[in-house]
Amino acid sequence: MLCCGLAVARDAGGCRVTLRSCGPSSGSLCCIVASEARDAAGLAIMDPLREANGTFALNLLKILGEDSSKNVFFSPMSISSSLAMVFMGAKGNTASQMAQALSLDKCSGNGGGDVHQGFQSLLTEVNKTGTQYLLKTANKLFGEKTCDLLASFKVPCRKFYEAEMEELDFKGDTEQSRQHINTWVAKKTEDKIQELLSPGAVNSDTVLVLVNAIYFKGNWEKQFDKEDTREMPFKVSKNEEKPVQMMFKKSTFKTTYIGEIFTKILLLPYAGNELNMIIMLPDEHVELKTVEKEITYENFIEWTRLDMMDEEEVEVFLPRFKLEENYDMKDFLCKLGMTDAFEDRADFSGISSKHGLSLSKVVHKSFVEVNEEGTEAAAATAGIMLLRLAIMDPLREANGTFALNLLKILGEDSSKNVFFSPMSISSSLAMVFMGAKGNTASQMAQALSLDKCSGNGGGDVHQGFQSLLTEVNKTGTQYLLKTANRLFAEKTCDLLASFKDSCRKFYEAEMEELDFKGDTEQSRQHINTWVAKKTEDKITELLSRESVNSDTVLVLVNAIYFKGNWEKQFNKKDTREKPFKVSKRTTTPPGATKHCSGKITILTLLEKQQRADNCVMNAWLMVGAQ
């Protein structure tokens, strides 16, 4: 199965079909543009890859289809082609996870030659000429001109994926680079995919964008007559109908019925009979998600065997439809087990000798239009890679400078102890900073030392915090370090969607509406309860009674918690009372030191050694003064 595009339509803007031979029925459908697997010489190496790509397509379909209220259309071939180039440079656990997520572990050698030779044969098959349809795909590497990629990566990309590399100036002219990539994609998809990379998708830290574009246009072998198309009611739910332009065709087609899933299958061939649209139509009482659960690669191949289908006359009612979808693939790929590729621990040492290279996002955009003549479809995928440490380094410096500046001010009173978390303070204020403009923003940038990060209030600061929060909250460590952000807003106050969306994206800060006006005390207690939960009940009264009132509009909260055991623990038996010098003339037991005016200073930085001896900036800063 060569799956070029896969769609699930659930509403009138999508696609449903009525097969009518004995009587009317209607329901949701799954339509796939696919070619039959053939035993032609030279395609033996593609067989494992066909199975891998087919399995990946169906696994991804199940995840994308979890939201039953939305239509789904994507090109698994475009996604897998783009990520296969990324996979070529992956090593260790990163490669193992990618192989599993893309089902490439079904191909021998995992990251070895079989996978990439298979894609080489697949691309040759897709781009062949002399067909009655137009199907073409293209790959391209867009690299930062100041970053040297390994020749051992670029050469195989050119050999197996026909992907030439073009150098762009992401650092100096990010917007021009973004537009250039979008122009290339638009050209390769006949202008059907025009804005693959939205503003902000790439930035000055982008090192490499790996792009695949695919385009298909084919006429039906048996076209629908436009004169038979008319407006008809279309059932979109049990209780709702909408009018649609319904196409009609009465002819002989290959069909079958799969009793185990109560589903009809219809093949609508394109001119030349090499490619088909395969339509799966569950019976009216069967939900599509029930069918989706049963779809596996093996089942699908068995269900669509041509020798098991009957040629019969059917009446096909199919709406004219157009779908355009846009996906940020990161969460979906993570659900498939591909997590390390997006983290600091990613190992892409096969792409560049520089450490800290990881995927920042994978974006996919698709288009399909079905009418009386046939089908036109296009899709594009971009894997965007950056040097994650490059993003975090300026923020580390900014947070470190802010921490030490604040330490000096808090430590001015030499009679008091000092303990604070600069990361908690800066995280909370960074969300406030996101909404600041003009002189307010300039002052905040200076106070928080964020003027050390490029763009001040721009993407670099907040992308840096996004990376920092990911690093802090990672699992699988021998210590517990976690942080959380939250917005608590007055329910009668409308905050800008652009602000809320950015807080959610960069700080994982969801917004919760409270009734500060009507019940201030309940709102205060609710926030304190949230903080206590996030800090394992160590911070139980963050907001005192006077801190919020009926005029409060928004409270932006950060909570952080750490617990770690010493690598070399102290023996409790060795702990004993000893005299402690707190001034030149006074010696006091430790239990009484809080009453003395002497001073000790303890500075603790929680660091994590990274490759190339880079360190994560301090999460905590502790100063004791007595």
What are the structural domains, with CATH classification, of the chain?
390-568+580-623 (3.30.497.10)
> What is the chain's mean pLDDT, rounded?
82
Confidence grade of residue 618 (pLDDT, cut at 50, 70, 90): very low
Confidence grade of residue 136 (pLDDT, cut at 50, 70, 90): very high
**Which among 626, 594, 623, 602 has a CA at the least distance from the CA of 406?**
623
Average pLDDT over residues 535-540: 94
pLDDT of residue 202: 93
Confidence grade of residue 108 (pLDDT, cut at 50, 70, 90): low
pLDDT of residue 457: 42
| Bridge partner residues of 363 (DSSP) | 328, 382
Position 12 pLDDT exceeds 60: no
Position 229 pLDDT exceeds 90: yes
Per-position DSSP letters for 291-357, written without gaps between them:
HHHH--HHHHHHHT-GGG-EEEEEEEEEE-EEEEEEEE-HHHHHHTT--GGGSTT---TTT-SSTTE
Q: How many CA atoms lie within 13 A of 179 on its CB side?
A: 4
Which residues, 6 or more positions from 399, have their beta carbon under 8 angstroms from its beta carbon?
422, 423, 426, 449, 617, 618
Average pLDDT over residues 244-258: 93
Q: Is 330 exposed, middle or buried (0-12, 13-18, 19+ CB in 10 A)?
A: middle
Which residues, 6 or more positions from 277, have their beta carbon under 8 angstroms from its beta carbon?
31, 32, 33, 267, 268, 270, 370, 375
pLDDT tens across 374-390, in order? 999 999 999 999 986 55
pLDDT tens across 148-179, in order? 899 999 999 999 999 999 999 998 899 999 99
Average pLDDT over residues 108-113: 52
Position 615 pLDDT exceeds 50: no
- Lowest-pLDDT choice from 22-36, 353-367, 457-471: 22-36
Q: What does the block give as tokens for 415?
A: 């009679």
d(CA 510, CA 557): 11
Confidence grade of residue 29 (pLDDT, cut at 50, 70, 90): low
Q: Provide the 10 A C-beta neighbour count for residue 547.
A: 13
pTM of the model: 0.64
d(CA 266, CA 32): 11
d(CA 377, CA 275): 13
Position 566 pLDDT exceeds 70: yes
Q: Is 592 exposed, middle or buried (0-12, 13-18, 19+ CB in 10 A)?
A: exposed
Position 417 pLDDT exceeds 90: no
